[in-house]
């Protein structure tokens, strides 16, 4: 295997296999960004006089050819290459001879992989942002569509107070705003240029790090070379935390859907083709999509803990431990995108029960607070009204005679079932998503 650090002594195969692991396969995800980083780096080397202009042109042209192979799906990591960095250099030296070996001047694999990862995470966060915005729009649309349909609210797993489907859908829309702020924070951490920090202590070459920052579209530099290297692990953890927060929102929604689909509730349903059946019970329509999503999102939430444990107690500087972070983060990113896409697909086909209260006296108790509030408005002290209604419930005599519609319940404050503030929530999301 060809390594960039080879000094004439080959690593034992057992050592090589153990230390490389899945890195070569995962590195293919970084191929595009490695080439883009190399293009920016050699343009800078040419500007500062470390690479003749004609040589830079030849290298840029060949890097463009490699980039084309990557985009067409033709690029592979050969068995002789240790990682994506060595594969790109192998391709260049095959075509350009010793000129291909010049691209590594002024950098280390440490800052090379850092810039690859930051460009990768930045792109993935933008993709996730767009998926979240699509899901947000769906929740908002459903919130408006079903804002007048009563949905029993539950606390402690027991019937509590009147809610609405509009409030339920709208709640998840607004929760996504918080998740978007987290994604934006992770994006800003990733959006700092580490290139030029080399192995963590800079270089005696007169590198122009401001140029590579501009070329690669980073918002700013990681200025201190040690601090730049300390970003390894921190950037991955920040992204894992952000998608973990998002996964938590989807996890709760999936759990709601599992419960609401249950025959004991029958609040929502889905077409037969989006559910599964039992091999023995012909009446079953199982919420397998939501159950698997619940499990996947729990696993995503665990990725931050794994990353934090792998990077704990490490002094500053590069350590080979960092290589394994990709094994955890990359699958979590893929799973997150998959869950967002499937959630939207399921919501496109959701069916809402708009007759939940009909003929079911079990839901009368959720109007006890309405009755208490009515008595308070009529001049009865709250504690006396509460006690009176409580006794009626206990004796089985409570019966709510008022309106059981959203309009008739007179909930008017911001965020109540009669005032969902849908546009305000949309404005909040626009602010939260304004980070690319």
Tens of pLDDT, residue by residue over 37-82, are 999 999 999 999 999 999 999 999 999 999 999 999 999 988 888 8
The per-residue pLDDT for 401 is 87
- What confidence category does residue 284 fall into, taking pLDDT thresholds of 50, 70 and 90? low
The per-residue pLDDT for 8 is 54
Residue 2 lies in a domain: no
Residues 113 and 259 in one domain: yes
The per-residue pLDDT for 15 is 73
pLDDT for 204-219, tens place per residue?
A: 999 999 999 999 999 9
Contacts of 287 (CB under 8 A, 6+ apart): 257, 258, 261, 275
Query: What is the mean predicted confidence (pLDDT) over 317-344?
Result: 94
Residues 337 and 241 in one domain: yes
The per-residue pLDDT for 320 is 86
Q: How far is CA 395 from the centre of its chain?
A: 51
What gap in Å lies between CA 242 and CA 115, rounded to an integer? 20
Of the three residues 297, 325, 352, the one that is the final residue of a domain is 352
| CA-closest candidate to residue 47, choices 221, 210, 204, 218 | 210
Domains: count for the chain: 2
Residue 410 lies in a domain: no
- What confidence category does residue 274 fall into, taking pLDDT thresholds of 50, 70 and 90? confident
Q: Is the pLDDT of residue 2 over 70?
A: no
pLDDT for 365-401, tens place per residue?
A: 999 999 999 999 999 999 999 999 999 999 999 988 8
Residues 340 and 311 in one domain: yes
Query: What is the mean predicted confidence (pLDDT) over 220-233?
Result: 94
Residue 406 lies in a domain: no
Contacts of 167 (CB under 8 A, 6+ apart): 143, 147, 151, 416, 417, 420
Contacts 24+ apart (CB under 8 A), 354-363: 354/146, 354/149, 356/150, 356/151, 356/152, 356/266, 356/267, 357/150, 357/152, 357/404, 362/159, 363/152, 363/159
Q: Which residue has the tokens 């304004």?
A: 434
The residue that leads in pLDDT, 263 or 114, is: 114
Residues 83 and 231 in one domain: no
Q: Is the pLDDT of residue 283 over 80?
A: no
Residues 42 and 166 in one domain: no
- What confidence category does residue 102 fall into, taking pLDDT thresholds of 50, 70 and 90? very high
Residues 94 and 115 in one domain: no
- What confidence category does residue 24 fall into, taking pLDDT thresholds of 50, 70 and 90? confident
Q: Which residue has the tokens 């004796």?
A: 395
Residue 395 lies in a domain: no
Residues 205 and 238 in one domain: yes
What gap in Å lies between CA 27 and CA 82, rounded to an integer? 10
The per-residue pLDDT for 5 is 47
Work out whether strand 192-193 and strand 220-221 pair parallel, antiparallel, or are unpaired: parallel
The per-residue pLDDT for 19 is 64
pLDDT for 238-252, tens place per residue?
A: 999 999 999 999 999
pLDDT for 353-365, tens place per residue?
A: 999 998 888 899 9
Q: Is the pLDDT of residue 16 over 80?
A: no
Which pair of tokens denotes residue 215?
């070329």
Q: How far is CA 320 from the centre of its chain?
A: 26
Give the containing element (helix H, strand E) for 389: helix 382-394
Number of Cβ within 10 Å of residue 78's Cβ equals: 12
The per-residue pLDDT for 158 is 92
Residue 377 lies in a domain: no
Residues 251 and 159 in one domain: yes
Residues 78 and 226 in one domain: no
What gap in Å lies between CA 359 and CA 131, rounded to an integer? 40
Which pair of tokens denotes residue 393?
């419930």
Contacts of 321 (CB under 8 A, 6+ apart): 310, 311, 314
Residues 167 and 285 in one domain: yes
Residue 388 lies in a domain: no
- What confidence category does residue 276 fall into, taking pLDDT thresholds of 50, 70 and 90? confident
Of the three residues 72, 104, 136, the one that is the final residue of a domain is 104
Residues 141 and 19 in one domain: no
What gap in Å lies between CA 245 and CA 394, rounded to an integer? 41
pLDDT for 137-186, tens place per residue?
A: 999 999 999 999 999 999 999 999 999 999 999 999 999 999 999 999 99
What gap in Å lies between CA 153 and CA 267, rounded to an integer? 11
Query: What is the mean predicted confidence (pLDDT) over 313-324?
Result: 88
Query: What is the mean predicted confidence (pLDDT) over 405-422?
Result: 93
Query: What is the mean predicted confidence (pLDDT) over 185-197?
Result: 97
Residues 80 and 221 in one domain: no
Residue 362 lies in a domain: no
Q: Is the pLDDT of residue 134 over 90?
A: yes
The per-residue pLDDT for 280 is 67
Give the gyration radius of the chain's Cα atoms. Answer: 29
Residue 3 lies in a domain: no
CATH number at residue 21: 1.10.275.10
Q: Which domain holds residue 28?
A: 13-104
Least trusted range by pLDDT, from 165-169, 292-296, 338-342, 371-375: 371-375
The per-residue pLDDT for 20 is 66
Of the three residues 104, 131, 159, the one that is the final residue of a domain is 104
CATH number at residue 144: 1.20.200.10
């Amino acid at each position: 295997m060809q390594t960039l650090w080879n000094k004439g002594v080959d690593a034992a195969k057992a050592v090589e296999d153990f230390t490389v692991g899945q890195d070569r396969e995962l590195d293919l995800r970084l191929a595009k960004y490695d080439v883009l980083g190399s293009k920016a780096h050699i343009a800078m080397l040419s500007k500062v006089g470390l690479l003749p202009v004609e040589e830079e042109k030849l290298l840029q042209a060949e890097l463009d050819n490699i980039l084309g192979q990557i985009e067409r799906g033709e690029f592979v990591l050969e068995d002789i290459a240790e990682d994506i960095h060595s594969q790109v250099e192998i391709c260049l030296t095959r075509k350009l001879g010793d000129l291909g070996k010049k691209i590594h001047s002024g950098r280390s694999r440490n800052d090379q992989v850092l810039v690859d990862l930051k460009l990768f995470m930045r792109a993935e966060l933008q993709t996730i942002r767009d998926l979240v915005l699509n899901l947000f729009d769906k929740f908002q649309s459903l919130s408006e569509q079903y804002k007048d349909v009563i949905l029993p609210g539950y606390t402690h797993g027991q019937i509590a107070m009147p809610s609405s489907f509009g409030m339920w859908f709208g709640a998840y829309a607004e929760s996504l705003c918080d998740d978007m702020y987290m994604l934006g924070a992770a994006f800003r951490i990733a959006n700092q240029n580490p290139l030029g920090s080399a192995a963590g202590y800079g270089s005696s070459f007169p590198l122009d790090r401001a140029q590579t920052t501009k070329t690669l579209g980073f918002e700013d530099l990681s200025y201190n070379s040690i601090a730049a290297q300390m970003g390894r692990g921190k950037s991955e953890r920040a992204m894992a935390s952000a998608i973990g927060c998002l996964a938590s929102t989807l996890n709760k929604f999936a759990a709601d859907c599992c419960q609401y689909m249950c025959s004991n509730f029958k609040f929502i349903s889905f077409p037969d083709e989006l559910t599964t059946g039992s091999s023995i019970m012909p009446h079953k329509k199982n919420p397998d999509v939501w159950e698997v999503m619940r499990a996947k999102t729990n696993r995503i939430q665990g990725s931050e803990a794994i990353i934090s444990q792998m990077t704990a107690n490490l002094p500053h500087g590069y350590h080979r431990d960092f290589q394994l972070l990709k094994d955890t983060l990359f699958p979590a990113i893929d799973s997150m995108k998959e869950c967002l896409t499937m959630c939207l697909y399921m919501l496109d086909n959701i069916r809402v029960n708009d007759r939940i209260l009909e003929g079911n006296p079990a839901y009368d108790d959720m109007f006890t607070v309405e009755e208490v509030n009515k008595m308070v408005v009529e001049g009865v002290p709250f504690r006396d009204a509460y006690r009176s209604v409580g006794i009626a419930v206990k004796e089985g005599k409570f019966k709510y005679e008022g309106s059981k519609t959203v309009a008739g319940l007179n909930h008017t404050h911001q965020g109540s079932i009669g005032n969902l503030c849908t546009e305000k929530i949309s404005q909040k999301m626009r602010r939260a998503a304004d980070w690319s």
